[in-house]
């Protein structure tokens, strides 16, 4: 079983009422992994062939930062999504929709 399949199965089999923060925890872990992977990829792309993109202390520091900030970042992302959803449901269309040409202009 691939990692992605295992994660999907684990998330789908989790109890529905597993607590109010279960979505935040899952999102926090995904954001932490995303941060680590993007930083590793960026440093590797900038680095010279044969060199490690991070020293061990730098990698430990990056992991600590990802762990320390993941829940706050998850809450911020969820709040932004909720605000955008609320904005889209009750106000004017999103900016991307307004920039489309009108059918009469064609």
pLDDT in tens, 11-67: 667 666 655 577 788 888 999 999 999 988 888 888 766 777 788 899 999 999 999
Rounded Cα distance between 96 and 84, Å, is: 13
Both structure tokens of 48: 């010279």
Q: Does 3 map to a domain? A: no
User: What total of structural domains would you count in the chain?
Assistant: 1
Work out the burial of residue 13: count CB atoms within 10 Å of its CB; fewer than 13 is exposed, 13-18 middle, 19 or more buried. exposed
Q: Which residue has the higher pLDDT, 105 or 69?
A: 69
Query: Is residue 106 one of the residues assigned to a domain?
Result: no
Structural domain boundaries, residue 73:
23-89
**How many Å apart are CA 95 and CA 92, to the nearest integer?**
9
pTM score, two decimals? 0.57
Q: What does the alpha-carbon distance between residue 10 and residue 62 come to, in Å, rounded to a whole number?
A: 27
Average pLDDT over residues 72-76: 89
């Amino acid at each position: 079983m691939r990692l992605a399949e295992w994660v999907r199965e684990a998330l789908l089999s989790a109890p529905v009422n597993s607590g109010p923060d279960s979505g935040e925890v899952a999102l926090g872990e995904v954001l932490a992994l995303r941060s680590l992977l993007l930083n590793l990829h960026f440093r590797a792309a900038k680095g010279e062939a044969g060199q490690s993109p991070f020293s061990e202390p730098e990698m430990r520091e990056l992991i600590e930062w990802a762990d320390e900030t993941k829940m706050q970042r998850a809450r911020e992302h969820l709040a932004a999504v909720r605000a955008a959803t609320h904005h889209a449901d009750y106000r004017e269309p999103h900016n991307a929709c307004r920039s489309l040409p009108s059918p009469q202009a064609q």
